[in-house]
Structure 1
Amino acid sequence: MSAPTLLVADDHPLFRAAVMHVLRERLPQYAIVEAASAATLGAALQAHPEVELVLLDLAMPGARGFSVLLHVRGEYPEIPVVIISSNDHPRVIRRAQQFGAAGFIPKSTPADTMGAALDAVLAGDNWFPPMVAERSEADAALAARLAQLTPQQFRVLLCLADGLLNKQIAHELGLAENTVKVHVTAILKKLECYSRTQAAVLVKSLENDQDM
């Protein structure tokens, strides 16, 4: 039986190594898997069903703001996700919380505090630094609408946001073109969007004005 595993997803090798050092010191009973992009994160989650927690940088290649967080939460709702980011603006932290993260650890956090935060999340609690940003009803409504999408529909939505046509999406995701059409219709209905462009703008709203 595979050992319980933690997945560290960050595109900076030195920071990834530093986080893994903290994990090995604090949580030696866990195996560790790495990912350096949104694509390798998805592949790692498929290859390692024993993953019990994901530590996620929001600014990896292939990520679009909070899209990776939403995608992981939609496809693997049983796995808690802790955001690790250099952008600890209160609104970023609040959005991470509203979009389903179980925790948020600024990259400037001392190792002991990081370890305590991960202990809390693995015990079933949440861990966030103090915030002053107010809850956003718009973000709450957006999260609720996106939560209606199936994992496949979310993948199609991200392709829509990249401006791909149905035929291109079908090739990208290995689907029949008619299946893509059905997904697009369902996506627009669930998101209350009147056009593909409007859906793309909605995905754009998942990004932050500041680097994450």
Structure 2
Amino acid sequence: MIRVLIADDHHMVRRGLAFFLGTQPDITIVGEAADGKQAVQLAGELVPDMILMDLVMPGMDGIQATKLIKQQHPGIKIMMLTSFSDQEHVIPALEAGASGYQLKDIEPDELARCIRNVCAGTNEMHPKATTHLLQQFSGSRLLNELTKRELEVLREIANGKSNKEIADALVITERTVKTHVSHILAKLDLADRTQAALFAVRHHLV
């Protein structure tokens, strides 16, 4: 029997999930949490096999809760069940330790299948989440193409500095900075400094 804790700040969502999953012969709902703080508390008290975790909740959000739960109870599987599929939510959730990422428009039978698979050790990702994960991996691989000096220049670009300010900070000529910027844009396949700055932020360089 798979013991599931549901964490979502919307009562109707919790009730709907509990009602459907309760009809599954191998799944039982052991508790419901209305926010991240309560999810952390109940995770310690109930030690479920799996937590269905919403992302955006009052007080402590799903990402913070996931991070704490995985630190305290690494054996508990956590699957994000959310309405958000953008990179700014997907990547932090996976970095926090989530083993799955699904959207709330998932078909009920598919959700049950994902719960079983995650508990069996498989990562279950919505296609949009997988795309962001691949983009992150691809971006990390591209970063390895940059030299140490180019990475320094990229960080300065992300901090909003002009070529002259970068030259002063790194004690190099402005012409050298321009050369580094050109190399960075070419290697990362970016169009301009704004895209470079966003790339640096997304990959936690600043």
TM-score of the superposition, structure 1-length normalised?
Answer: 0.57
Segments of 5+ residues of structure 1 without an aligned counterpart are 139-204, 206-212
Segments of 5+ residues of structure 2 without an aligned counterpart are 141-200, 202-206
User: SS at the partner of 2:125?
Assistant: coil
8 Å CA contact retained: 1:56, 1:83: yes
Alignment length, in residue pairs?
137
Q: Distance in 1 between matches of 2:94 and 2:53?
A: 13
Shift in Å, 1:45: 1.8
State the match for 1:48 in structure 2.
46
Q: Could you report, residue by residue, the CA deviation over 1:183-207 in whole angstroms, capped at 9, with x for unpaired residues?
A: xxxxxxxxxxxxxxxxxxxxxx9xx
8 Å CA contact retained: 1:58, 1:68: no
Larger relative helix fraction:
2
8 Å CA contact retained: 2:2, 2:26: no
Q: Aligned Cα RMSD in Å?
A: 2.5
Q: Percent identity?
A: 23
Q: Could you report, residue by residue, the CA deviation over 1:142-179 in whole angstroms, capped at 9, with x for unpaired residues?
A: xxxxxxxxxxxxxxxxxxxxxxxxxxxxxxxxxxxxxx
Structure of higher CA gyration radius: 2
Are 2:136 and 1:135 aligned?
yes
State the match for 2:19 in structure 1.
21
4+ residue runs over 4 A deviation: none
Change (3 A) 1:127 1:116: same
Which range moved further: 26-35 or 82-91? 26-35
Higher RCO (Cα < 8 Å, 6 or more apart): 1
8 Å CA contact retained: 1:5, 1:33: no
Q: 2:95 aligns with which of 98, 109, 114?
A: 98
TM-score of the superposition, structure 2-length normalised?
Answer: 0.59
